[in-house]
A = this chain, B = another copy of it.
Amino acid sequence: MRNTDIEKASEALWKNALPHLSVDCVVFGYHQGSFNVLLAKMKGDNGWILPGGYIQKTESIDDAAKRILFERSGAEKVFLEVFGVFGEPNRSQDYFVEYDDNLWHKMRFVTIGYYAVIDQSQVTPVPDMFSDACEWMPVYELPEMVMDHKQIIEKALEKLRDQLYHKPIGYNLLPEIFTLPQLQALYEKIMNQKFNRGNFYRKIMKENILIKQGEAKTGGAHKAPHLYKFDPAIYTK
């Protein structure tokens, strides 16, 4: 696509959107022990960004977040939730060099942060017309990012860690029935630290979010591991 087409498309977007407001989506993905975040790379920019965009004048902010994530990355049916708002007046200063409230691409933006945690095998990222790339990148080895997007990811990670022992975060990330070592591997990735198995077991059982299932059948000499699933009552609460 030629640059003039991109400019025209941008102008059409701006004309129908609320000024000064944007949405950025932090989508964490987990699959087979790998913990990632969905990032995009705009044409002509060096750094990576979160999939983000603007709120149409007639659109709710939740609908805008869903639409933006889909348009930027191809990800559908992702449950997104607000986790923070980023509104330092100088948050784009290094990026824009100079503010100008009369020019859309130089005005101050307050961005609403949405986050989600998904099994990344369910999403094949697709770059949109404004992006060169859209990819899963490792949370603990982020590439160079523009503006405050790295801090936005850190804040989302903080929120995720805060909820880890109180909400069934693993519900969308593990098979329906899983072993405690599988759950421990997920939690270790999200917390970025190793746990003592006994301590982890006691801590997670104390939260009452798991239901014990029948034991896995085994013909061998070793005892089969116990199987668990998340308590659906907690999930729907």
Contacts and interface: CB of A to CB of B under 8 A. Distances in A.
B108 A57 contact: yes
Interface stretch (A13-21, A129-137, A190-198, A225-233): A13-21
Interface stretch (A26-34, A83-91, A115-123, A178-186): A83-91
A112 B223 CA distance: 54
Interface in A60-91: 60-62, 64, 82, 84-85, 87-89
Contacts of A112: 85, 87, 110
Chain A interface size, under 10 / 10 to 19 / 20 to 34 / 35 or more? 20 to 34
A110 B21 contact: yes
A25 to B, nearest CB: 14
Interface string A153-167: 000000000000010
Contacts of A20: 18-21
A199 to B, nearest CB: 13
Give the interface centre of A59, A64, A88, A89 by most chain B CB atoms within 10 Å: A89
Interface of A, secondary structure class, is mixed
Contacts of A102: none
A88 B60 contact: yes
Contacts of A64: 87
B59 A89 contact: yes
A88 to B, nearest CB: 5
A4 interface: no
B19 A55 contact: no
B60 A89 contact: yes
A218 interface: no
A101 B206 CA distance: 52
A125 to B, nearest CB: 26
Given A18-B108, A19-B19, A206-B206, A62 B82 contact: no
Interface of A: 18-21, 55, 57-62, 64, 82, 84-85, 87-89, 101, 108, 110, 112, 166, 206
23 contacts: A18-B20, A18-B108, A19-B19, A19-B20, A20-B20, A20-B21, A21-B21, A21-B110, A55-B87, A55-B110, A57-B89, A57-B101, A57-B108, A60-B87, A60-B88, A61-B85, A61-B110, A62-B87, A82-B84, A85-B112, A110-B112, A166-B166, A206-B206
